[in-house]
Amino acid sequence: MTINLKENERLDELQRNGYQIIQNPEKFCFGMDAVLLSGFAKAKKGDVVLDMGTGTGIIPILMEAKTEASHLTGLEIQEESADMARRSVVLNGLSEKIDIVTGDIKEADRIFKSASFDIITCNPPYMIGQHGLTNPDAPKAIARHEVLCTLADVISQAAKLLKPGGHFFMVHRPFRLAEIMTTLVQHKLEPKRMQLVYPYVDKEPNMVLIEATRGGKSRMTVEKPLIVYKEPGVYMPEIYDIYGY
């Protein structure tokens, strides 16, 4: 299928099922964190999945390729990103499997029925407040900084929308790990699995992948570290596997 691209848009290959995604590098493009989250998140056959703050739809599209989830929904507040996501869904012939909804994470419980999802994923803004922002309304700022929603907003909404026993998957920054764990527990999302991501074996971790279960018992597994680069420009084998190269 051919699809018309708008100004500054491009088509990127996803190395999965021949899928492609529409992106605008002038606005925002998905990063490795989204790809790693799509590999860390698990969905069983028949699961119903919500991705909060889906951007251009990268996580639902990759999870559709990697899992047997029955249906996936992406929620995105920026209409321009949501429009690209919808066109990517059509381009890949996934209109029956993926819905893209324009809306605010803070109002997700008004958009969707409570306890209606088996799996919720989120790659939220990492940075607190508007420190260092020159234009807090710019798409990149909204994606990276807590301009329109906070960590607490994301977690509280996930807790409302997950079925009992449902799973929440998130990628974030290690410097906020104490806050993340505290907020999850406050909202009855029990941390169950964690993996730290290191750019190189001798560097500090710069990402953390977390799985929590609604109403789960207190027991968490810490998985072996995920190292991204063997040397500059060369991924470790695990990263090539996640990307599908």
What confidence tens digit (pLDDT) does each residue in 199-218 have?
999 999 999 999 999 999 99
What confidence tens digit (pLDDT) does each residue in 219-237 have?
999 999 999 999 999 999 9
| pLDDT value at residue 134 | 46
What confidence tens digit (pLDDT) does each residue in 100-159 have?
999 999 999 999 999 999 999 999 876 665 555 445 556 555 455 455 688 999 999 999
User: Mean per-residue pLDDT for 3-13?
Assistant: 91
User: Mean per-residue pLDDT for 46-56?
Assistant: 97
Q: Which CATH class is domain 31-243?
A: alpha beta
Q: What percentage of residues in the chain have a pLDDT greater than 70?
A: 89
**Spatial CA neighbour of 92 closest among 18, 6, 30:** 18
3-state helix, strand, coil in the chain (%, to 5): 30, 30, 40
User: Mean per-residue pLDDT for 184-199?
Assistant: 98
Per-domain boundaries in the chain = 31-243
Q: What is the mean pLDDT of the chain?
A: 91
| pLDDT value at residue 129 | 59
Dihedral of CA 29/108/189/213: which sign? negative
The 3-state DSSP class for residue 2 equals: coil
Would the pTM count as exceeding 0.85? yes
The label of the residue with tokens 């500090």 reads 204
Residue 86 has pLDDT above 60, yes or no: yes
Residue 194 has pLDDT above 90, yes or no: yes
